[in-house]
Amino acid sequence: MIEIIRELEEAKVGKVAQNEPLSKHTMWKIGGPADIFIEPDSVDGVIQTMEVIKRHNLPWRAIGRGSNLLVDDAGIAGAVLKFGPKLSHLELDGNIVKVGAGYSIIKLANVISKEGLTGLEFAGGIPGTIGGAVFMNAGAHGSEIANILTEAHILFPDGRLEWIKNKEMEFSYRTSRLQKERGVCIEAALEVKPGNKEEIIQEMMKHKRYRRETQPWNRPCAGSVFRNPLPDHAGALIEKSGLKGYRVGDAQISELHGNFIVNLGEAKAADVLAIIRHVQDTIHERYGVEMRTEVEIVKREA
């Protein structure tokens, strides 16, 4: 690992650290160390990082703000690339927004709304980055990234970087082609439209108030834990089963929203996983419904 770290530092790809606790980089504040942690400071930094990783045949994965992510207490083997503020460039050309993977989707929604452009109101309360939103086809309030993305700049596991059109992204509910191929979004181009500025801002404020009143963002959490098993809603099924408040260690199903698990202070990934399994078993036994996670569960592999 020392040799790999030295090569990355010499290439000046950005921040490089060994055994970095991922609890510092996930919204749940949970997760063991990454063998090598890299925060590239540019797209060129990403390319150079991948050249080193490929040369050493090192396993790798990418993260953004760490929302919708549960990292093993044992951490992640290999390299973790964090696409953060250094990859958060923004260009607005007419109705097309070109934005870096590390850009906060909440911040982007705010910026676009102030320009009097519509299309991102739904994203005003989604606590992640553009890269993660494309990966997950993030959505809320009846809309989703698939509705506005024109193309995405994708880093594939073999190190290829390609611009991929919307129709090639295989979007569906909280799903994209990237989840099957382990591709990572580096940049995205989104199409928005002119609208009434006051109406856009009012719509965003309405969504923000709803999230603030119904979701427990006062404690570390990762957003919705389960996908909605349509036509049912995960939170409603969990509440109907009497599971709100169910606790294992310092992890607890929120009293405010059944589809959120909060970290009360020192929660471990094992605690959250125990709750997830209990919910899945309970809902399946009572209603015959399979509860699939929306959060990505990352286990350490040797």
What residues does 100 pair with on adjacent strands?
A: 187
Question: 44: closest CA among 12, 74, 84?
Answer: 12
CA distances 253 to 206, 219, 224, 287, Å, are: 25, 12, 11, 19
Q: Quote the tokens at residue 36.
A: 């090598």
152 with 163: CB under 8 angstroms? yes
**Interatomic CA distance for residues 180 and 119, integer angstroms:** 27
- Per-position b or e across 231-270, b if 16+ CB within 10 A of its CB: eeebbebbeebebbebebbebbbbebbbbbbbbeeebbbe
Question: 174: closest CA among 259, 293, 64?
Answer: 293
Tell me, yes or no, if 172 is annotated catalytic: no
Tell me, yes or no, if 224 is annotated catalytic: yes
Strands 251-253 and 247-248: antiparallel
Catalytic member of 61, 65, 174, 300: 174
Tell me, yes or no, if 294 is annotated catalytic: yes
Note if the bond before 157 is cis, omega within 30 degrees: no
Catalytic member of 7, 121, 294, 300: 294
Catalytic member of 88, 104, 176, 224: 224
39 with 15: CB under 8 angstroms? yes
User: Active-site residue numbers?
Assistant: 174, 224, 294
